[in-house]
Structure formats: structure tokens, C-alpha cells
């Protein structure tokens, strides 16, 4: 049973349609449109005996840039980072760094201990620990044969 489900913001049928449409656009236009419409950070979900860990790859951010909210069974992680402007005495020759707003949502099961969810940001990875409730934790027990 999956206790953490990814809520994909784009329906798979619609996603296939959009990918085909965007791939048919001219290269310069297609890339910028694709980045704006389909950008959200990749996520890893790892299950251990007593906790699920959700990791998002979001380099270049600060922990104050994130908002993590739990509304019922929906865990939402979002961020908005404003681009910095160059001081008046500087002329930017090339600017390739950019930060985009994003929002990722995950549906969590009632077997997650929602009151003890923790988050930390280390080396460009936002990690959330979603502990399992006591009755869900797998217990290995040795049974003696008599």
C-alpha cells in the first residue's frame, strides 16, 4: 500500500498532448514555453521502517524561500524566489541563473503521524521526514519453534 502519493499537476493524457504540442514548436520558443509550463523540482520518496523521506532537488534556494503546509491529507511544498537586480554601477553581460516559483503536492495516508512531520534544507535538497504512526511500523519478531 502506498502511503505517500504524488499529485501530478498535469493529467497524463493532457501531459502527452502538451509534450507533443511543445515539441512541435520552434526550438527557441518551445524551450522557454516548456520550462515555464512544466517546471517543478524532481522528488525522491524513500520508505524506511518508521519514516518516509521526501526529497526535492531545489538548488540555489534558502530555507526561508519555502512554504510547507499540511491541509487535511494534502502536503503542499511551494517556493517563490525573486530574482535579484544588479546594482546601478554593474552591467550584466549574460544572465543564465533564474529561479522559478513552484508548488508540489503530495497526498498522505492517515497512517502518517502528521503532527511530527519535519523539514530541513541541506546542500540544495529539501528533505521532509513523514514518520509512520506506531501501529504501521514494521516489527520483526523472532518466533521460536518448540
DSSP string, 52-100: EEEEEE-TT--GGGEEEEEETTEEEEEE--PPPPPPTT---S-------
Q: Report yes or no: 2 and 52 within 8 Å, Cβ to Cβ.
A: no
Q: Considering the entire predicted model, what is its pTM?
A: 0.63
- Sequence spans of domains, the chain: 4-134
Distances (CA, A) of 29 to 35, 63, 93, 102: 10, 33, 22, 21
Start-to-end CA distance of the chain, whole Å, equals 34
Q: Please, what is the Cα angle at 98 between 42 and 21, to 5 degrees? A: 60
Q: Which residue has the cell 546594482?
A: 87
> 4-134: which CATH topology?
Immunoglobulin-like (2.60.40)
Q: Identify the helix (H) or strand (E) that includes residue 144.
A: none
| Predicted confidence pLDDT, tens digits, the chain (146 residues) | 455 666 555 444 555 555 555 555 444 444 444 444 446 789 999 999 899 999 999 988 888 889 999 999 999 999 887 666 777 788 888 877 766 788 999 999 888 999 999 999 999 999 999 999 887 556 677 777 86
Closest CA to 112 of 94, 129, 127: 129
Amino acid at each position: 500500500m502506498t502511503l505517500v502519493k504524488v499529485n501530478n499537476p498535469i493529467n497524463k493524457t493532457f501531459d502527452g498532448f502538451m509534450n507533443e504540442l511543445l515539441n512541435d514548436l520552434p526550438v527557441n520558443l518551445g524551450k522557454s514555453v516548456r520550462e515555464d509550463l512544466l517546471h517543478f523540482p524532481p522528488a525522491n520518496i524513500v520508505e524506511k521502517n518508521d519514516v518516509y523521506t521526501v526529497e526535492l532537488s531545489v538548488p540555489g534556494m534558502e530555507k526561508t524561500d519555502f512554504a510547507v503546509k499540511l491541509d487535511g491529507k494534502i502536503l503542499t511544498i511551494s517556493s517563490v524566489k525573486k530574482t535579484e537586480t544588479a546594482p546601478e554601477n554593474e552591467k550584466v553581460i549574460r544572465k543564465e541563473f533564474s529561479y522559478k516559483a513552484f508548488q508540489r503536492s503530495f497526498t498522505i495516508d492517515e497512517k502518517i503521524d502528521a503532527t511530527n512531520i519535519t523539514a530541513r534544507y541541506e546542500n540544495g535538497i529539501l528533505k521532509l521526514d513523514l514518520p509512520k504512526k506506531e501501529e504501521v511500523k514494521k516489527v520483526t519478531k523472532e518466533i521460536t519453534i518448540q
